[in-house]
Chains A and B, each alone.
Chain A
Amino acid sequence: MLAGVLLLIFLPPLVAKDLCKDSQDGFKVRLSIKTGLGDDAYEWNESEMFLFRSTLAYAMRKHSNQDTYTIDNILVCNDTQRVSFVFVVTSTDDPDQLIPKEQVELAVRQNKHRINNAFLLSDMTLEFMGIPPTLSAPIIYDTEPWLIVFGVVIGAVAVGIVALLMSTVSKKRRAKEKAAGLSEEDEGIVKENGTALSSLGRKEGVYNQAFSNDDRFTKL
């Protein structure tokens, strides 16, 4: 009688351990807490393991839309100091039946983000061996940022070119006008005697090159 009772008490954990150890449907999990958190690393203990099992039960619940998964459905074994272990998920209807690998994988992949956050870790530091991480989608821009900068630079260059060309054109025009204006005044002095004085009235005088001090003409 006593033996029977003892067997009943100790059988489930033994069976559970066998289910976990020998099964093909288990996943190895590895946590690198110190690498991930450095000085803020927490100690891995039974409570943390409890949290892990409950997050996994949560994942199974979400995936299968059944609210029947509890922490007892998650069995853990091969616990090492590395902080790595193997877990399996038992079915809610039959504790001896294991949920197939693919189902568990899907559940984990769907909720990896929540599992990571529960432990303040990332895909690199909380690894499920055999389940590749779902990488974040690449950022898609409406307009590539480089095109925007390119547009700004080209715009500035175009403005610069136009400004410089305009200034050259206007300089040339002014030079032409000045040359034309000077030649007109010279003609005025030669043609009409009367207007020579009137032109003087407008300006301080007219530079008469015949009486210049330029050495050019006096050098021998």
Chain B
Amino acid sequence: MDRFMTRPDAADMKLNLKLPNPGLDERIPSHAELEKLEVEEAGERPQWDNKAQYMLTCVGFCVGLGNVWRFPYLCQSHGGGAFMIPFLILLVLEGIPLLHLEFAIGQRLRKGSVGVWRSINPYLVGVGIASMLVSFLVGMYYNTIIAWVLWYFFNSFQDPLPWSQCPVNENRTGFVSECERSSPVDYFWYRKTLNTTPVIEDSGGLQWWIVLCLFCAWTLLWVCCLRGIETTGKAVYVTSTLPYLVLTIFLIRGLTLKGSVSGIKFLFTPDLDELLNPSTWLDAGAQVFYSFSLAFGGLISFSSYNSVHNNCEQDAVIISVINGFTSIYAAIVIYSIIGFRATERFDDCLNGNILTLLNTFDLPEGNITESNYDGFLQHLNSTAPAVFQDLQLKTCDMQTFLSQGVEGTGLAFIVFTEAITKMPVSPLWSVLFFIMLFCLGLSTMFGSVEGVVVPLQDLNILPKRWPKEAYTGLVCFVSFGLAIIFAQGSGDYWLALFDGFAGSIPLLIIAFCEMMAVSYIYGIDRFNDDIKFMIGHKPNFFWQVTWRLVSPLIVLLIFLFYFITTVSKELTYIAWDPQSENFPTLETKSYPDWIYGIIFILSGVPALVIPAVALYKLIRNRCCAKEEKHTTAEHKIQIPDELDRTRRSLH
């Protein structure tokens, strides 16, 4: 308690700066009170049934769709195996410290995100509200992706799969033109699923099948989150473990397919020159940060249901390791399948060319094979160059096919689904794949909902006597209502907008504020003592350096990079436009002007809430202080003792 009595260490005197924070002790439970809570198990706060539930929930929250479809792409585009180096370094310097910080503060203060920041300092409530807003916005669009996954899942129960062939046109002489020019998987995704419009301004009306899938996704989420961790704790036994099982099945299946090893080789071929490129490091940092689902408030909430002496340091390390391992494992699986698909495409391309040659020159079948293809090409080019030019043979390059490895929805719904159609018993693989994506997404949504519901309860906006079911139901219902914008024809463009702006910059700002608040407003010394009380030993030098210096610096750098690149360039989006010249290549279009307003709302409002709330509280306190001074001045003559007490409690 009497910090001013102990002599601060000369070595860390500089970094030991602590901003004045009066009244902190009144706002937070003391160590003695925590011990009492622990022993009596009193209080209405929900608790985990066992440690496994807690770990599975956190793993599920961290491991999400990004591990499957963002990390493999980053790995492959930034020098393959060499990308592991910045990724692992930043995992250790940025991911683990931030995770430990959120776990420790939640476990210590035993509240959700708003409660924690309010306890540290009432001016910091804005950080909690910003977390809540970001969780809400991200949850809205994330569940829409789950709705799309559900749509594909529902459509997987038929043979042949609907995206394996183009639909025929009216007089049954050929295929639908849009499908003919692109591919069956593209057509099914852009036309049958999204029914996408060429530009974002064109709304295209509501697609009723997507609305149904959205409804299904939100009600499924509600049934799992109905009573908070009581129900999610049971659901995670399935949703967090099933993806690993499916990944293993796909790995075994993938390795038995032709060409899978070339995909894995392509993924991990190191290109050490990429390490000199700063954007590699920045992408690695961003991936670590977003992959850990930090600054959403969900992790703080989950950790607050733990017992006080839970070893949060160990948990942070274990979950970080699992997250990193899952990313790498998923990358291997995805690229084995992409290697298979690329080999199939290459073979098709080559066989198509060979057939063209055979047909033009009327050679018997089997004369030209893959082995003597090049030799033959040269021979024919030299003997009959004119004819050769007219043929317009397609160039078949394996590297091009491998680097068509896409990221995001393109990977799951176009590339991977195409690969599945080429496997035997495709409906089975399709069902498995989409169940895995569904589980990955749903377990992340649990954290998102937690990050919205608990702050709502803490803010006392809604009546306190409402049961938890009503809170979760309200959040799911409102999110479903607003997510209808993603069910329009232009829904995919809106989703890309949300993905780019709602979940990127505000999170970085919140994370930075979190670290500053804990290190310098709560006080790193007090924090160290708390951790010593909770787990038995003081955090070592590594944690001190990363919490106070290294991690905030990394987050700040990433934020500046993102901010500058976003503000400096013209914002564009890619659109599916059958009328465009380069069809089926997606066309880059620029946003209309009113979109900038929406971008400001998505990025700016959560970020600006932090200073706005602080300012609001400051103004309110000044007014209250003035009023109190007037009233106490009146009572001064009558009751001197009580006056002293009231004055003390004002701070």
Contacts and interface: CB of A to CB of B under 8 A. Distances in A.
Nearest to A153: B216
Given A135-B173, A137-B172, A157-B223, A146 B363 contact: no
Contacts of B155: 145-146
A14 B167 CA distance: 47
Interface in A109-162: 132, 134-138, 145-150, 153-154, 157-158, 160-161
Interface stretch (B354-362, B404-412, B547-555): B354-362
A148 B154 CA distance: 8
Nearest to B360: A82
21 contacts: A32-B355, A80-B362, A82-B362, A82-B363, A82-B365, A83-B364, A84-B359, A84-B362, A135-B172, A145-B154, A145-B158, A146-B155, A150-B154, A150-B213, A154-B215, A154-B216, A157-B223, A161-B223, A164-B231, A168-B227, A168-B467
Given A34-B366, A148-B157, 9 more contacts: A34-B365, A81-B363, A84-B362, A135-B168, A135-B174, A135-B175, A145-B158, A150-B216, A161-B219
Given A134-B173, A161-B223, A168-B469, A30 B359 contact: yes
A82 B355 CA distance: 10
A161 B226 contact: yes
A13 B553 CA distance: 92
A35 interface: yes
A50 to B, nearest CB: 20
Nearest 7 A-B pairs (CB), nearest first? A146-B154, A80-B362, A34-B365, A81-B364, A82-B362, A149-B154, A160-B223
A76 interface: no
Contacts, number: 82
At the interface, is chain A mostly helix, strand, loop or mixed?
helix
Contacts of B365: 32-35, 82-83
A135 B167 CA distance: 10
Contact of B151 (A30, A137, A146): A146
B226 A164 contact: yes
A157 B362 contact: no
A168 to B, nearest CB: 6
Nearest to A81: B364
B220 interface: yes
Interface string B344-383: 0000000000010011001111100000000000000000
A96 B359 CA distance: 31
Interface residues of B, number: 35
Given A149-B154, A153-B220, A161-B222, A132 B364 contact: no
A76 B157 CA distance: 48
A33 B366 CA distance: 10
A81 B362 contact: yes
Contacts of A81: 362-364
A179 to B, nearest CB: 15
A164 B223 contact: yes
Interface in A14-39: 30, 32-35
Nearest to A141: B158
B228 to A, nearest CB: 12
A210 interface: no
Contacts of B215: 154
A182 interface: no
A132 B365 CA distance: 23
A132 B167 CA distance: 16
A165 interface: yes
Nearest to A41: B365
Interface residues of A, number: 31
Nearest to A167: B227
Contacts of A161: 219, 222-223, 226
B322 interface: no
- Give the residue among B154, B167, B219, B355 with the most A Cβ atoms within 10 A: B154
B216 A157 contact: yes
A163 to B, nearest CB: 9
B153 interface: yes
Contact of B219 (A34, A146, A147, A154): A154
B168 A145 contact: no
A136 B167 CA distance: 10
B595 interface: no
Contacts of B213: 150
Contacts of B172: 134-135, 137
B496 interface: no
B212 interface: yes
Contacts of A132: 173-174
A187 B355 CA distance: 97
A29 B174 CA distance: 20
Interface in B160-182: 167-168, 172-175
Interface string A63-97: 00000000000000000111110000000000000
Contacts of B154: 145-147, 149-150, 153
A80 B216 CA distance: 60
Contacts of A83: 364-365
B167 A145 contact: no
Contacts of B363: 81-82
A136 B363 CA distance: 31
A176 to B, nearest CB: 14
A148 B158 CA distance: 11
A13 B355 CA distance: 33
A145 B227 contact: no
B469 A150 contact: no
A157 B173 contact: no
Interface string B498-521: 000000000000000000000000
Contact of A82 (B158, B223, B358, B469): B358
B631 to A, nearest CB: 37
B157 A146 contact: yes
A149 B227 contact: no
A157 B224 CA distance: 9
B415 to A, nearest CB: 22
A145 B153 CA distance: 11
A134 B173 CA distance: 6
Contacts of A34: 365-366
Contacts of B175: 135
Contacts of B209: 146
A145 B216 CA distance: 16
B234 to A, nearest CB: 11
A149 B364 CA distance: 50
Interface in A184-216: none
A137 B175 CA distance: 11
A197 to B, nearest CB: 33
B212 A150 contact: yes
Nearest to A165: B469
Interface in B207-243: 209, 212-213, 215-216, 219-220, 222-223, 226-227, 231
A47 B395 CA distance: 40
B354 to A, nearest CB: 10
A174 to B, nearest CB: 15
B368 to A, nearest CB: 11
